[in-house]
């Protein structure tokens, strides 16, 4: 019982916090001319999900300036520079690597004094980037019926309680409870209709349809280039490095291309298809705690992501197998053809070149 009360409290706090923090001060304006796309190429067996970027070195990146989400003005761009976004898939899971230069900042247990990232994907056809789905209903009126078509899928990772290099996200305890939470590292799986109506997968407003089989399908890890230890950390070693050190943050994630979602709470990736995504980044600028709407974004509108049908690896494996089978069948057919030709030539020769036999009447032999 205590676990469920705690979950309700956290959800209530999170919803109230985000309602207050997403009020805009003026008219929203977006003049995005970006034609940058993210491509998830087919590269099976290339990366290990550990927060390290070494195994991504041959994967092409898309680079985005980080602008404040509520006021995307180039003059207020994140001082650390652009964010690099890489993606690939292995035919089963899709992987992401986010990379951004920033001084090391970590305060155990205080998420808003640590960097944080989120991925958002369009689910419903009417879901807009602005206002996190764009449903115009008030928080007390949001349901899967009143906001149908405005669903967005969100993965949010706050690293304040996460050990670098360790995996967080979906785990047996939270998935057993049928929701998208993560009690260990706050890498959570959510859906939303607007900033005021955001819920863990498997939960929702009173009276909404929930699914006890819902779960957190994401896994992820983080790292910073200033770390001098690469074999792994444990929680007692926090803060893992000196705050203020120059370097680069890495955030690595994976999720199945398709999930068991039955309620329009997860985006479904299709090989050969495209969907729309965005990336958010929070950072304690000047050592000041960030607030919910004070995040940077890679664009002021959706960014397309293409899921490639297959690269050279799939082509080679398929072609090699097909070629091997074809060679065996062709060789066998060739042998049969040559044998049949030889028999035909021999029979023809015998038919047309036999010596004629003279006819002798029977009575001549009597």
- What is the secondary structure of 84-104 as a DSSP string? EEEEEE-SSEEEEEEEEE---
Single out the residue of 83, 91, 196 nearest to residue 146, CA to CA.
196
Phi/psi for 300 (5° steps) reads -95, 15
pLDDT at residue 343 in the model? 62
Residue appearing with tokens 């676990």: 3
pLDDT at residue 11 in the model? 43
pTM of the predicted model as reported, rounded to 2 decimal places: 0.78
Counting Cβ atoms within 10 Å, is residue 173 exposed (0-12), middle (13-18) or buried (19+)?
Answer: exposed
pLDDT at residue 311 in the model? 56
Task: Give the side-chain half-sphere CA count within 13 A for 215.
Answer: 17
N-terminal to C-terminal alpha carbon distance within the chain = 122
pLDDT at residue 33 in the model? 62
pLDDT at residue 353 in the model? 56
Single out the residue of 123, 111, 197, 118 nearest to residue 162, CA to CA.
111
Q: 2-310 adopts what CATH topology?
A: Immunoglobulin-like (2.60.40)
Sorted by where each begins, the domain ranges of the chain are 2-310, 315-365
Q: How far apart are CA 198 and CA 18, in angstroms?
A: 9
Q: How far apart are CA 282 and CA 289, in angstroms?
A: 9
Query: What pairs with residue 155 in β-bridges?
Result: 119, 189
Q: Name the 3-class secondary structure at 192.
A: strand
Task: Give the side-chain half-sphere CA count within 13 A for 159.
Answer: 32
Name residues of the chain where pLDDT drops below 70: 1-29, 31-34, 207-212, 311-334, 336-366
Q: How far apart are CA 66 and CA 77, in angstroms?
A: 6
Q: Name the 3-class secondary structure at 155.
A: strand
Name the token pair of 269.
């990736």
pLDDT at residue 315 in the model? 37
CB contact set of 154 (below 8 Å; sequence gap of 6+): 118, 119, 120, 121, 132, 189, 190, 191, 192, 198
pLDDT at residue 324 in the model? 41
Task: Give the side-chain half-sphere CA count within 13 A for 224.
Answer: 25
Residue 333 is inside which H or E element, if any?
Answer: helix 312-353
Helix, strand, coil share of the chain (percent; to 5): 25, 25, 50
Going by the DSSP 8-state scheme, the letter that residue 354 receives in this structure is P
pLDDT at residue 293 in the model? 83
pLDDT at residue 72 in the model? 85
Q: How far apart are CA 150 and CA 145, in angstroms?
A: 10
pLDDT at residue 221 in the model? 97
pLDDT at residue 314 in the model? 36
């Amino acid at each position: 019982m205590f676990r469920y009360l705690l979950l309700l409290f956290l959800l209530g706090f999170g919803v109230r916090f985000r309602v207050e923090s997403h009020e805009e001060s003026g008219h929203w304006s977006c003049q995005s001319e970006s034609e940058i796309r993210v491509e998830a190429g087919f590269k099976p067996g290339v990366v290990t999900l550990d927060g390290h970027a070494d195994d991504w070195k041959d994967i092409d990146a898309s680079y985005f300036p980080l602008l404040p989400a509520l006021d995307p003005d180039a003059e207020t761009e994140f001082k650390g520079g652009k964010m690099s976004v890489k993606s690939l898939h292995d035919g089963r899971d899709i992987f992401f690597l986010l990379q951004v230069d920033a001084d090391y900042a970590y305060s155990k247990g205080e998420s808003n004094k640590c960097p944080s990232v989120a991925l958002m994907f369009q689910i419903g056809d009417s879901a807009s980037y602005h206002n996190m789905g764009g449903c115009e209903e008030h928080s007390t009126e949001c349901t899967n019926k009143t906001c149908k078509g405005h669903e967005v899928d969100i993965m949010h990772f706050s690293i304040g309680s996460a050990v670098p290099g360790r995996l967080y996200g979906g785990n047996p305890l939270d998935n057993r409870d049928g929701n998208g939470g993560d009690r260990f590292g706050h890498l959570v799986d959510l859906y939303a209709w607007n900033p005021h109506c955001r819920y863990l997968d498997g939960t929702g407003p009173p009276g909404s349809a929930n699914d006890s089989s819902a779960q957190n399908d994401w896994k992820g890890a983080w790292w910073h280039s200033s770390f001098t230890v690469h074999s792994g950390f444990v929680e007692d070693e926090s803060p893992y490095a000196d705050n203020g050190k120059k370097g680069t943050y890495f955030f690595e994630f994976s999720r199945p291309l398709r999930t068991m979602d039955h309620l329009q709470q997860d985006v479904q990736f299709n090989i050969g298809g495209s969907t729309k995504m965005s990336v958010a980044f929070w950072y304690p600028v000047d050592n000041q705690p960030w607030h919910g709407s004070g995040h940077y974004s890679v664009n002021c509108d959706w960014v397309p992501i293409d899921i490639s049908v297959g690269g050279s690896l799939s082509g080679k494996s398929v072609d090699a197998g097909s070629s091997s089978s074809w060679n065996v069948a062709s060789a066998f057919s060739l042998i049969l053809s040559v044998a049949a030709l030889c028999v035909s030539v021999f029979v023809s020769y015998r038919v047309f070149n036999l010596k004629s036999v003279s006819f002798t009447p029977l009575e001549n032999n009597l």
